[in-house]
Amino acid sequence: MNEAPYFAPYPRARTPVYSRWWLSGAALLSVLIVGGKLFLADLYEPRVMIVGMVGVLLLWLLVFLLRVLYVHFNQHFAHTYTVTARQIQRAWWTHHRQTAALVEAVLVGPVCSSVEDRQKLFTADHQPPEPVQTTKGEVSRVWQVMDEDTADRERELVALLVIQWRRQHEAPITLHPLRCYWQGTASAWAAFVEQMASSCPQVKLPEHPEPWQGLASLDVIIDQLQGAAADARILCAGCASLPPQANSRLPAGEAAVLWLLGAQGGVRFCRGEWFAAESEDLATLAERVLQQSELDKPAPACVSFSQPEITELSALNWNIRPFVQDANFGDLGSLEAMVVQTLAAAYAQAHGVPCAWLGNDPHHTLTLGVVKPDDSRT
């Protein structure tokens, strides 16, 4: 849960009813005069009585002034508290609405490898591939990879990922990323670095990348890119090839993803939100996603994987059903969110409208957010 800061209303003092105070003062003065003449005139000298009456009136006036000062100070503190609370909330939302640009993306999976393939997934005549039955269960595989061992398949998948990235460029790729994030095994990363050195020797990658932590990593990236140079880049990539399992709900899937994120120059990734079922309802979360994305209604489309363990999905009121990716990719485990974000970016870029996404990540059962069109065009 990532709620905006909430401030309870400042306790307000009751405004004094001045007419009552003036009546009470007048009544006190009358009592002092009448009482002084009837009961105290024979006991005290007139001068002493006058001093006493003035003292009582001054005490009443002091109490009245303290009451007025208390109310005015209370109003001042309440105003200051309210202004400060609004500034903190405004600053929180300003930070929460920051974005990063997806400058470039590559997605290799059973149904796509090129930019054109990704666009075909949103057409009415697209047909998902038939899963392959093995002795251990159903699988949904990239046809170019022939190995059966999942570790070997992952190494070949990342090689295809790098080769496809190179194909998308006419000129050699030169890149010195500020950071590199990786979702997957160490052996797959080693194969990724090896293939990059062969296909794109001017891309410099670290020996040990930072682990991809889903929305937590995206938050850090967006923070780092605020005010960064126009050519600053952060590389994020991931790969997964799941082994088949008997009686699994979905075929064992596989995919490889590469993102190049920058401060500007592409569709915009919002920070996203995660669902904490024990502390908030999904409808409230969906409303916060729209606020974060500065939308007054749900995005026209939502790319997702089905989430059968989340029974409250109907509360979202999002257009989820047309673009569920289960049949296209199979089970991708913790790589789900990166895949749906990539596809949502492709939809937003092609149609010029926001596109929502929904899936899991390495630390949350359900994450969701919105990808917005490139704001540099406007």
Each residue's pLDDT, cut to its tens digit, for the chain (378 residues) gives: 577 788 788 787 777 666 776 676 666 566 655 555 555 445 555 555 556 666 666 776 787 777 778 888 888 888 999 999 999 999 999 999 999 999 999 999 999 888 888 988 998 888 888 888 888 889 999 988 888 899 999 999 999 999 999 999 888 899 999 999 999 999 999 999 999 999 999 999 998 999 999 999 999 999 999 989 999 999 999 999 999 988 888 999 999 999 999 999 899 999 999 988 777 888 888 899 999 999 999 999 999 998 888 777 777 888 888 899 999 999 999 999 999 999 999 999 999 999 999 998 888 889 999 999 987 654
Regarding whether 229 and 110 lie in a shared domain, the answer is yes
Regarding whether 173 and 113 lie in a shared domain, the answer is yes
Domain range for 46 is 18-95
Asked if residue 12 is part of any domain, the answer here is no
Regarding whether 65 and 156 lie in a shared domain, the answer is no
Tell how strand 234-241 and strand 301-304 pair up: unpaired
Regarding whether 350 and 258 lie in a shared domain, the answer is yes
Domain harbouring 341, CATH code? 3.40.47.10
Distance separating alpha carbons of residues 60 and 55, to the nearest angstrom: 9
Asked if residue 163 is part of any domain, the answer here is yes
- List Cβ neighbours of 200 (8 Å cut-off, separation of 6 or more): 162, 165, 166, 172, 173, 175
Asked if residue 222 is part of any domain, the answer here is yes
Which of 95, 124, 154 delimits the end of a domain?
A: 95
Q: What is the dihedral of CA 178, 183, 186, 190, to 10 degrees?
A: -50
Which of 66, 95, 124 delimits the end of a domain?
A: 95
Regarding whether 82 and 228 lie in a shared domain, the answer is no
Which of 74, 95, 116 delimits the end of a domain?
A: 95
Domain count for the chain, please give it: 2
Written as six digits, the tokens of 263 are 């401060």
Regarding whether 140 and 33 lie in a shared domain, the answer is no
Regarding whether 152 and 32 lie in a shared domain, the answer is no
Regarding whether 178 and 88 lie in a shared domain, the answer is no
Asked if residue 3 is part of any domain, the answer here is no
Regarding whether 121 and 73 lie in a shared domain, the answer is no
Q: What is the dihedral of CA 219, 220, 221, 227, to 10 degrees?
A: 100
Identify the pLDDT of residue 40. Answer: 47
Distance separating alpha carbons of residues 238 and 229, to the nearest angstrom: 25
Asked if residue 313 is part of any domain, the answer here is yes
Distance separating alpha carbons of residues 338 and 361, to the nearest angstrom: 8
Asked if residue 273 is part of any domain, the answer here is yes
Asked if residue 76 is part of any domain, the answer here is yes
Regarding whether 89 and 174 lie in a shared domain, the answer is no
Asked if residue 2 is part of any domain, the answer here is no
Tell how strand 254-262 and strand 99-108 pair up: antiparallel
Regarding whether 310 and 269 lie in a shared domain, the answer is yes
Regarding whether 325 and 237 lie in a shared domain, the answer is yes
